[in-house]
Amino acid sequence: MIENLYGIFGASGFGREVLPIVRGELGEDDFIYFVDLTRGKNKVNNVDVITYNDFLSVEAKNKKAVIAIADGVIREKIELDLIVAGIENISVIADNVVVMDDVSIGAGAILSPFVTLTSNIKIGRSFHANIYSYVAHDCIIGDYVTFAPSVKCNGNVVIEDNAYIGTGAVIKQGLPERPIVIGKGAVVGMGAVVTKSVKPGDVVFGCPAKSIKKGEE
């Protein structure tokens, strides 16, 4: 019987980037699948692609999930389904990730190569930090937050649940008594330079970042 069965949810780009990190965790009696709702292909990078129901039916002593899907709302839904099924959403952390001092990271995080987390940081569940991103001191990051590659989150920033920060975005450092806040479900566009707080659900873009779509009141 399989000792540890790993299911990487999402067989597209990010899933394929996470695959080598997960492979590094495999033991002799372990096995790995891609789990995809659409199951458009039978194999991806020499790994079988199966449906969620198939993943549930495979016999194994332990089942572990890695949710490699950028949309935080979808990640949250999948994690809730996994909790009901008794399957752990594990964290995957590349060998060269730098974690400094007093950093708390919730379950289900994916930290890609060259990510840096400095000091006095609190991070919620299922955080994704793609390659070359960093989080500086005294930041609080909620649940199901996604950083695309090369996000620069400077100190004293609060990012609420389900926010998405696009590739190359820069978030200016806040103040201890007045942090910059990225509201729940907000989207910061690629290359944006955020110099002030972003309201929940807003989409911001540009330098300096300005709202191009308002969230629901």
Question: Which residues are part of the catalytic machinery?
Answer: 137
**CA-CA distances (angstroms) from residue 191 to 25, 129, 151, 167, 211?**
34, 16, 9, 6, 14
At residue 132, φ and ψ (nearest 5 deg) are 65, 15
Q: For residue 110, give the nearest of 25, 46, 181, 190 by alpha carbon.
A: 25
Q: Which of 79, 77, 76 is nearest to 7 (CA)?
A: 79
* Amino acid in the structure at residue 212: I
Q: How far is CA 149 from CA 71, 88, 178, in A?
A: 15, 26, 27
